[in-house]
Amino acid sequence: MSSGGTVEPLSSSERAGMSVSIDPGPAERRVVPPFTLVVPCYDEAAGAAQLLECLGDILEEFPESEIIVVDDGSTDGTGDVLTTLPGRAGLRVIAHAENRGYGAALKTGLRRAHHDLIVIVDADGTYPFDRLPDLLAEMADADMVVGARVGPGAAHPWLRRGPKAVLRRWAMWLTQTEIPDLNSGFRVFRKSVVERFLRILPDGFSFTTTITLAMLQSHYRVVWIPVAYAPRLGSSKIRPIADTLRFLQLMLRTGMYFAPLRILMPVATCLGLLFLGSATYDIVVLSNLTDKTLMLLLFTLNTVIFALLADMIDKRSSK
């Protein structure tokens, strides 16, 4: 950080080999540049008034910053609460005419942000706003800081624990990196960095999962800070069947996009072993190559070629 309080991006040499670190406790307070806080909001009437009160406190502590609340087509009166409460400088409410998704709301706020430093946080009262200064302080030496929901008092809904654990281990296998919290909705990053990935970031809840993988695979430095996680205000948006299908789709998509070789080469290896076994049987027992053996050879070669092409496209597009 320069003497004027601005954050300088890390050079490529500084980023190499230092993707992740975990901070054990509150960071030392430092001067941070102004930031834009983006809050996606959908059917959160139960906590909208309390949310704006908390956001007002943040503006008092960081008067040069701004807050953008994106009402993502709420139908429960959330929009009325957000627009009828007294406005204040630095706080803007942007409304979608219809529900477009969590990621789409974040993209809207990101595009309207006036500052390069972006903070995102959910509107359901689950994340501790008082830890924001700690996340901001760590941005002096990081490209993204994530509030990991592993601190004391972190209360995770039991219905989400299984899928989240599977997805987190999947992501760690893809990136070969320890990931304390893959899809936390409380994080800080730079707009100029995340704009590189806007074309691949989804409009749904997998926005945070995808940006985490994208940053790690591109060798940006990501820091996790343990934070508490409280029970949400209002009703959950979980849809068991639809969310399970979306979860499986996310695993396949992230694997193919961020680590095609790690996904496809084991498949090619298995096909190759089947080909060798079939070929050995044909030559030793039948004294002739069967169609089955030739088909296994073609499947093996096609999978290897597809894996190499996918990896080449990934490497070229990440430049």
pLDDT in tens, the chain (319 residues): 333 333 333 343 333 333 444 454 544 445 678 999 999 999 988 888 788 788 888 888 898 999 999 999 999 888 888 876 656 678 899 999 999 999 999 999 999 999 999 999 998 888 998 899 999 999 989 999 999 998 877 766 666 677 778 888 988 998 899 999 999 999 999 999 999 999 889 998 889 999 999 999 888 999 999 999 887 776 666 665 666 677 777 778 888 888 888 889 999 999 999 999 999 999 999 989 899 999 999 999 999 999 899 888 766 665 5
Structure tokens at 241: 């069947």
Q: Helix 291-317 crosses helix 240-258 at what angle (to 10 degrees)? A: 80
Instruction: Annotate the chain with three-state secondary structure.
Output: CCCCCCCCCCCHHHHCCCCEEECCCCCCCCCCCCEEEEEEECCCCCCHHHHHHHHHHHHHHCCCCEEEEEEECCCCCHHHHHHHCCCCCCEEEEEECCCCCHHHHHHHHHHHCCCCEEEECCCCCCCCHHHHHHHHHHHHHCCEEEEECCCCCCCCCHHHHHHHHHHHHHHHHHHCCCCCCCCCCCEEEEHHHHHHHCCCCCCCCCHHHHHHHHHHHCCCCEEEEECCCCCCCCCCCCCHHHHHHHHHHHHHHHHHHHCHHHHHHHHHHHHHHHHHHHHHHHHHHHCCCCHHHHHHHHHHHHHHHHHHHHHHHHHHHCC
Rounded-to-integer distance, Cα 249 and Cα 252, Å: 5
Q: Are 125 and 185 spatial neighbours (Cβ–Cβ below 8 Å)?
A: no
Q: Could you give the strand order of the β-sheet that contains 117-120, starting from the edge strand earlier in sequence?
A: 20-22, 222-226, 144-148, 187-190, 117-120, 35-41, 66-72, 91-96
- What's the pLDDT at 256? 84
> Closest Cα to residue 197, out of 245, 143, 273?
143
CB count within 10 Å of CB 18 equals 14
Establish how many alpha carbons lie within 13 A of residue 57's alpha carbon, considering only the half-sphere containing its beta carbon: 11
pTM value is 0.78
Phi, psi of 34 (to 5 degrees): -60, 150
CB count within 10 Å of CB 291 equals 7
Spatial neighbors of 296 by CB under 8 A, at least 6 apart, are 271, 274, 275, 278
Rounded-to-integer distance, Cα 86 and Cα 98, Å: 24
Rounded-to-integer distance, Cα 48 and Cα 199, Å: 31
- What's the pLDDT at 13? 37
CA distances from 204 to 103, 126, 200, 247 (A): 5, 19, 12, 11
Highest CATH level, class, for 12-258: alpha beta
- What's the pLDDT at 14? 38
